[in-house]
Amino acid sequence: MSEEFKDQVFKDISYRNISGDGNVIKAKDAVIKGFAKIAIEEDSHGGVKIVLKKDDKDNIKEIKFICSCGETKSVILDYSE
């Protein structure tokens, strides 16, 4: 029962610098950058979903707005100096 209330933690994987063909990413080429928690909230008025991506210390890293029409906008927060 207590497992239901725990935040799900996902591995944050970097695959941007991989040269390859197609959509296949080999496990040996992927790099784990850290861990992320993802929360989804929905605005009942405008049909907009808000996705909050946090790091493992609960700092918000990305806010993504997803319209019911399919358009998305993202705000990426960088805490480094």
* pLDDT class of 7 with cuts at 50, 70, 90: low
Per-residue confidence (pLDDT) for residue 1, from 0 to 100 = 44
User: Can you give the residue ranges of every domain in the chain?
Assistant: 2-76
| Strand positions, DSSP E, the chain | 9-14, 31-42, 49-55, 60-66, 72-76
- Model-level pTM? 0.57
Per-residue confidence (pLDDT) for residue 81, from 0 to 100 = 65
14-61 pLDDT, tens per residue? 766 666 666 777 777 777 777 888 887 776 667 788 888 888 778 888
Query: Residue range 50-76: average pLDDT?
Result: 87
**How is 62-81 classified by DSSP, letter by letter?**
EEEEE-TTS-EEEEE-----
Per-residue confidence (pLDDT) for residue 73, from 0 to 100 = 92
